[in-house]
């Protein structure tokens, strides 16, 4: 074992630095007395050298895709090409202001227009909106579009149906748009057609599905699913979190979906940024196009403009035009890969996943037979007899230099371990991971319970965090004084 | 991507001849191909194509830009860019595994700590997408805290914010009722505000500065009038270096925009939705929160906490659907704030206030022009009126390298602009504004 994460003792900025510069600034000249802030905000002031040291040392205690293998299932932690960053930081890209007139932003509008078309083509949709800032934001937008469509048809539908394997954002987004959630159980890891047929009705606004589903299994009954949902007048919603599994092989449009969101930070290689920003464009079939958010990038002659003249639109879901910085990175990726490269990315993502799976299934149970797409879910339930949980396995993988997979999701599989290798990893990396995982599941319970020992900290008292709720330095001082 | 030999070996391990067999579970009837996207370009060709497309832009950052309206071009220190460029932050994801993500978690905790001090709120979460979606979430959160179906909002609210808010309110069926502003001062019309406080009102939004740039001086009276209803304060984060923070006047929920702290204007995204609240409300709050705890050896450590509010655990009962947020912009903001400190923020606030007043004076000196239009006090942004339509002014002045302000959507304000000043504005920019304005209106 050779991995060891940096272990600096970095005090909080408040503990090491202060703000002792007395600026003597008074605002009396400009503001009435009763609205002026009396004391300056208590924020330490670091010189550049100290600030850079502080944050650099912290960064060394953080694991990113650049640090190593990051097989976090459902998150598509593929490598983020460096040229994307460089293009997005060009002054011609990042120094644009959202209130500039169309005539001054022709390059950006052309890129947005082309990106809309590319994403529409990849997903088999008619029109795209680039405005949503994240996948869940795209889901919420899609649900609002569904709502507007049904209302426009004079229909008050109040339910959204989804399978028990769906991402948590699906029910949460639909509930935010005002829908009651109907969850249907899966049958052998797939949508149970009978349960679906029994659940849908004239109350169904939409059925939300990710395909392949969160077990990595392709829902090959998708045409029947579409028939059932459309049969009652419902819409079929595609959660694009798993789009990396199907590019160039099939498309949501071809499968019968009406609304799609994509996660550009997953499939289209933009960095995850420690949790964001992402981008969650939404595509729809022709009959829903009028309801997409405004504006949409449009072309007239040789000129591009932001089209606000869409009277049936749901309006806006973001203060400006979405996360342009992320859109440009994704556009750069699509140009670099091309249609051929995207298809090949999917092929390799699925090959890597199936290859890794046949190695892992030699020592861990992988429920449900058959092919997998871009990810697969193993179960750590057999380890329970030794008093070992999936969580222990995950923590021990850290000591081997790997970011743990997603654990305890989907709930359908007991003690689940969800592994998504992505296409950007080599066979050597997959072999090393498979060997490490095999070693880990064979290690003694003591070692596993003790893990991690090579990260910057040991296992955390997370229950204390929820009990004491120390959410700021101010809270911390109060806690210490107790 | 794997080597060709790797690919062959992996296929052999699966007893397959080609990757096509991996897709045998996709029915033939739904198969499709990507046909309308050209083949991939090599890196130099990609760079050249994108640079030439972008060269068709005329970025505000290269002109004398007085654009604001929610997005502000403050100077970004190079050191901030070096922090956000650290690939350990950039290429990581949500810190689900805290042991291997302590660096990011501490930065996020420091962001929360500094933002609590700036805003005076007990708790600040770890980012929403932007101000507008933060406002939508705030309305939903307020409606969870108090019974009622009506949320009061200012008549001055910008159209994009209003439209986003409407969309967030559709689900629970919240009605939005607007209260009037005083036509002379630009402040809240208190009598009208009070008259709208029916029994069905669960809360109200007060924006200070509002979308006319006017700082609300009657926050205490508004707080009192609301009683135990929820006060949502929408603020300009930098202004809090100079004006009373929302924690000081008892706001229940605070929302703001953090883009100005170390993030480029970026054509309006990524932004940074800042949200804070009173500690008593924290379990109803949307978004991620980082807590301080220790590890089994007693070392101080940080982790995500209160996750039982979130979608991956609570599904449809979650306080929000938010998953991906704007974490990297909070990293930028934390490093920006640490570099400026409380005193540096006051310097920046003072500079922009001073320069905005000099600009207002210069505009008023031009025949037929007036700035500010409203008599209420302002921070770095104000409404100006001109003898020509705003659209014409923008067109003509930007031809000469000046972006004079943002058009107003309110009725009767076709000859007005919302004009903003940041710390990138110099005396030369102000002189140029006045000069070009004179040429255009004459």
Considering A337, A369, A387, which residue would you say is the last residue of a domain? A337
Residues A364-388 have pLDDT tens digits of: 999 999 999 999 999 999 999 999 9
The structural domains of chain B, with segments of one domain joined by +, span 60-76+341-441, 78-336
pLDDT tier at B1 (50, 70, 90 boundaries)? low
The three-class DSSP label of residue B97 is coil
Contact state of A461 with B294 under an 8 Å Cβ cutoff: yes
The matching CATH number, chosen from 3.40.50.2000, 3.40.50.720, 3.90.1150.10, 1.10.3720.10, for B60-76+341-441 is 3.90.1150.10
User: What number is the average pLDDT over the span B246-251?
Assistant: 98
Contact state of B321 with A315 under an 8 Å Cβ cutoff: no
Query: Measured between CA atoms, how close is A438 to chain B, in angstroms?
Result: 18
Asked if A237 and A357 sit in the same domain, the reply is no
Total tally of structural domains belonging to chain A: 2
Residues A403-415 have pLDDT tens digits of: 999 999 999 999 9
Query: Measured between CA atoms, how close is A358 to chain B, in angstroms?
Result: 7
Contact state of A41 with B172 under an 8 Å Cβ cutoff: no
The third-level CATH classification (topology) of the domain covering B78-336 is 3.40.640
Query: Measured between CA atoms, how close is B366 to chain A, in angstroms?
Result: 22
Report the share of chain B in percent with pLDDT over 90. Answer: 95
Residues B181-225 have pLDDT tens digits of: 999 999 999 999 999 999 999 999 999 999 999 999 999 999 999
Contact, A417 vs A433, CB < 8 A?
Answer: no
Q: Which two tokens stand for residue A95?
A: 């120094």
Residues A57-80 have pLDDT tens digits of: 999 999 999 999 999 999 999 999
Contact state of B86 with A91 under an 8 Å Cβ cutoff: no
Q: What is the pLDDT of residue A101?
A: 97
Residue of A nearest to B119 (CA): A41
Tell me if A92 is assigned to some domain: yes
Residues B346-364 have pLDDT tens digits of: 999 999 999 999 999 999 9
Distance separating alpha carbons of residues A405 and A412, to the nearest angstrom: 16
Tell me if A35 is assigned to some domain: no
Asked if A351 and A326 sit in the same domain, the reply is no
Asked if A427 and A279 sit in the same domain, the reply is no
Q: What is the pLDDT of residue A22?
A: 78
pLDDT at B2 over 60: no
Asked if A329 and A354 sit in the same domain, the reply is no
Asked if A273 and A172 sit in the same domain, the reply is yes
Contact state of B269 with A326 under an 8 Å Cβ cutoff: yes
Report the share of chain B in percent with pLDDT over 70. Answer: 100
Return the CATH number at A252: 3.40.640.10
Indicate if ipTM > 0.85: yes
Residue of A nearest to B113 (CA): A472
pLDDT at B403 over 70: yes
Q: Largest alpha-carbon pair distance within chain A?
A: 76
Q: What is the pLDDT of residue A448?
A: 97
Asked if A168 and A100 sit in the same domain, the reply is yes
A322 CB-near residues (< 8 Å, 6+ apart) = A130, A131, A132, A133, A279, A281, B268, B269
Q: What is the pLDDT of residue B411?
A: 87
Contact state of A323 with B85 under an 8 Å Cβ cutoff: no
Candidates A62, A173, A396: best to mutate against B (most CBs of B within 10 A) is A62
Cα distance from N-terminal residue to C-terminal residue, chain A: 42
Q: In chain A, which residues have their Cβ closer than 8 Å to the Cβ of B3? A: 426-427
Residues B38-68 have pLDDT tens digits of: 999 999 999 999 999 999 999 999 999 999 9
Q: Where are the beta strands (DSSP E) in B96-145?
A: 123-124
Tell me if A475 is assigned to some domain: no
Candidates B16, B54, B98, B100: best to mutate against A (most CBs of A within 10 A) is B100
Q: Is the dihedral of CA A242, A246, A247, A251 positive or negative?
A: negative
pLDDT at A23 over 90: no
Asked if A230 and A272 sit in the same domain, the reply is yes
How many CB atoms lie under 10 A from the CB of residue A267? 28
Asked if A323 and A419 sit in the same domain, the reply is no
Contact state of B110 with A473 under an 8 Å Cβ cutoff: yes
pLDDT tier at A2 (50, 70, 90 boundaries)? confident
Average pLDDT, chain A: 97
User: What number is the average pLDDT over the span A294-322?
Assistant: 98
Closest CA to B112 of B248, B305, B264, B283: B305
Option in B58, B245, B316 nearest A181 (CB): B316
User: What number is the average pLDDT over the span B284-304?
Assistant: 97
Q: How far is CA A288 from CA A282, A319, A481, in A?
A: 11, 22, 58
Q: What is the pLDDT of residue B308?
A: 84
* Residues in chain B, total: 442
Residue of B nearest to A99 (CA): B406
Asked if A321 and A406 sit in the same domain, the reply is no
Q: In chain B, which residues have their Cβ closer than 8 Å to the Cβ of A177? A: 170-171
Q: What is the gyration radius of the CA atoms in chain A, in angstroms?
A: 25
Q: What is the pLDDT of residue A1?
A: 53
CB pairs under 8 A between A and B: 674
The three-class DSSP label of residue B39 is strand
Q: What is the gyration radius of the CA atoms in chain B, in angstroms?
A: 25
Place of tokens 């895709």: A65
Contact state of A22 with B343 under an 8 Å Cβ cutoff: yes
Residues A98-130 have pLDDT tens digits of: 999 999 999 999 999 999 999 999 999 999 999
pLDDT tier at A24 (50, 70, 90 boundaries)? confident
Considering A299, A315, A337, which residue would you say is the last residue of a domain? A337
Asked if A331 and A280 sit in the same domain, the reply is yes
Q: What range does the domain containing A397 cover?
A: 347-464
Asked if A333 and A352 sit in the same domain, the reply is no
Contact state of B341 with A85 under an 8 Å Cβ cutoff: no
| Sequential DSSP letters for B247-312 | GGGT-SEEEEE-TTTT---GGG-S--EEEEE-GGGGGG--S-EEEEEEBTT--EEEEEE-GGGSHH
Return the CATH number at A380: 3.90.1150.10
Contact state of A456 with B102 under an 8 Å Cβ cutoff: yes
Q: Which two tokens stand for residue A325?
A: 């910085």
Contact state of A56 with B86 under an 8 Å Cβ cutoff: yes
Option in A23, A51, A457 nearest B79 (CB): A51
Report the share of chain A in percent with pLDDT over 70. Answer: 100
Option in B87, B269, B406 nearest A133 (CB): B269
Query: Measured between CA atoms, how close is B135 to chain A, in angstroms?
Result: 10
Candidates B21, B22, B283: best to mutate against A (most CBs of A within 10 A) is B22
Contact, B126 vs A275, CB < 8 A?
Answer: yes
Asked if A432 and A304 sit in the same domain, the reply is no
Closest CA to A98 of A371, A265, A295, A238: A295
Distance separating alpha carbons of residues B161 and B150, to the nearest angstrom: 17
pLDDT tier at B313 (50, 70, 90 boundaries)? confident
Q: In chain B, which residues have their Cβ closer than 8 Å to the Cβ of A213? A: none
């Amino acid at each position: 074992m050779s991995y060891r994460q940096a272990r600096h003792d970095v005090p909080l900025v408040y503990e090491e630095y202060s703000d002792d510069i007395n600026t003597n600034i008074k605002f009396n000249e400009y503001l009435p007395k009763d609205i002026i802030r009396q004391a300056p905000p208590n924020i330490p002031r670091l010189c550049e050298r100290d600030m850079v040291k502080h944050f650099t040392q912290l960064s060394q205690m953080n694991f990113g895709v650049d640090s190593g293998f990051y097989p976090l299932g459902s998150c598509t932690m593929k490598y983020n090409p460096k040229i994307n960053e460089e293009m997005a930081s060009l002054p011609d890209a990042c120094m644009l202001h959202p209130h500039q007139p169309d005539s001054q932003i022709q390059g950006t509008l052309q890129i947005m227009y082309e990106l809309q078309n590319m994403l529409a083509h990849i997903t088999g949709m008619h029109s795209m909106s680039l405005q949503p800032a994240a996948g869940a934001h795209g889901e919420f937008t899609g649900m609002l579009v569904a709502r507007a469509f049904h209302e426009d048809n004079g229909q008050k539908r109040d339910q959204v149906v989804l399978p028990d394997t769906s991402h948590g954002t699906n029910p949460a987004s639909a509930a935010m748009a005002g829908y009651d959630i109907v969850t249907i159980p899966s049958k052998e890891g797939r949508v149970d057609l009978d349960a679906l047929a029994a659940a849908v009705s004239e109350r169904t606004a939409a059925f939300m599905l990710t395909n392949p589903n969160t077990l990595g299994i392709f829902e090959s009954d998708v045409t029947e699913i579409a028939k059932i949902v459309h049969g009652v007048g419902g819409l079929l919603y595609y959660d694009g979190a798993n789009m990396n599994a199907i590019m160039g092989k099939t498309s949501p449009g071809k499968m019968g979906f009406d609304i799609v969101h994509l996660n550009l930070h997953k499939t289209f290689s933009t960095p995850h940024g420690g949790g964001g920003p992402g981008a969650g464009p939404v595509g729809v079939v022709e009959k829903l196009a009028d309801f997409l958010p405004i504006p949409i990038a449009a072309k007239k002659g040789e000129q591009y403009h932001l089209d606000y003249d869409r009277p049936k639109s749901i309006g806006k879901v973001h203060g400006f035009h979405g996360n342009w910085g992320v859109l440009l990175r994704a556009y750069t990726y699509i140009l670099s890969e091309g249609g051929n490269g995207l298809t090949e990315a999917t092929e390799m993502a699925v090959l890597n996943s199936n290859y890794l799976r046949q190695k892992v299934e030699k020592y861990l149970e992988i429920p449900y037979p058959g092919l997998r797409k871009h990810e697969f879910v193993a179960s750590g339930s057999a380890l329970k007899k030794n008093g070992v949980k999936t969580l222990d396995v995950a923590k021990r993988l850290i000591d081997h230099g790997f970011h743990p997979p997603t654990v305890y999701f989907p709930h359908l599989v007991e003690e689940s371990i969800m592994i998504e290798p992505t296409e950007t990893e080599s066979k050597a990396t997959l072999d090393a991971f498979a060997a490490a995982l095999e070693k880990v599941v064979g290690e003694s319970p003591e070692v596993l319970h003790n893990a991690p020992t090579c990260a910057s900290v040991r296992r955390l008292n997370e229950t204390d965090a929820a009990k004491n709720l120390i959410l700021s330095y101010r809270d911390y001082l109060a806690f210490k004084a107790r | 991507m794997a080597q060709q030999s790797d690919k062959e070996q992996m296929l052999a391990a699966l007893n397959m001849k080609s990757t096509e067999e991996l897709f045998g579970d996709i029915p033939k009837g739904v198969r499709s191909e990507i046909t309308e996207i050209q083949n991939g370009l090599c890196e130099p060709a990609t760079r050249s194509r994108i640079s030439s497309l972008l060269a068709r832009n005329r970025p505000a950052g290269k002109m004398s830009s007085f654009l604001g309206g929610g997005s502000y071009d403050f100077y970004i220190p190079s050191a901030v860019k070096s922090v956000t460029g650290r690939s350990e932050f950039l290429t990581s994801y949500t810190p689900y595994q805290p042991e291997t993500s302590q660096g990011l978690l501490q930065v996020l905790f420091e962001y929360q700590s500094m933002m609590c001090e700036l805003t005076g709120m007990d708790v600040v979460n770890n980012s929403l997408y932007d101000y507008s979606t933060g406002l939508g979430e705030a309305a939903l959160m307020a409606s969870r805290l108090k019974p009622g179906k009506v949320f009061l909002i200012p008549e001055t609210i910008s159209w994009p914010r209003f439209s986003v808010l409407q969309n967030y309110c559709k689900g629970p069926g919240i009605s939005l009722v607007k209260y009037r502003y005083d036509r002379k001062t630009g402040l809240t019309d208190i009598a009208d505000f009070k008259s709208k406080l029916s029994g069905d009102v669960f809360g109200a939004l007060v924006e200070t500065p509002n979308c006319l740039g006017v700082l609300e001086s009657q926050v205490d009276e508004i707080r009192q009038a609301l009683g135990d209803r929820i006060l949502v304060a929408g603020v300009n984060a930098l202004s809090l270096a100079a004006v009373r923070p929302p924690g000081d006047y008892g706001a229940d929920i605070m929302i703001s925009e953090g883009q100005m702290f170390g993030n480029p204007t970026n054509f309006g995204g990524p932004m940074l939705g800042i949200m804070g609240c009173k500690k008593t409300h924290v379990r109803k709050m949307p978004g991620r929160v980082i807590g301080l705890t220790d590890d089994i050896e007693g070392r101080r450590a940080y982790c995500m906490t209160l996750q039982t509010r979130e979608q991956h655990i609570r599904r449809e009962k979650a306080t929000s659907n938010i998953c991906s947020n704007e974490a990297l912009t909070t990293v930028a903001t934390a490093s920006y704030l640490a570099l400026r400190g409380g005193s540096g923020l006051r310097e920046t606030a003072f500079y922009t206030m001073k320069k905005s007043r000099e600009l207002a004076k210069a505009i008023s000196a031009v025949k037929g022009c007036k700035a500010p239009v409203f008599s209420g006090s302002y921070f770095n942004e104000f409404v100006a009126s001109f003898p020509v339509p705003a659209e014409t002014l923008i067109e003509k002045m930007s031809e000469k390298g000046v972006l004079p302000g943002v058009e107003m959507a309110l009725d009767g304000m076709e000859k007005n602009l919302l004009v903003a000043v940041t710390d990138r504005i110099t005396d030369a920019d102000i002189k140029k504004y006045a000069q070009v304005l004179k040429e255009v209106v004459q």
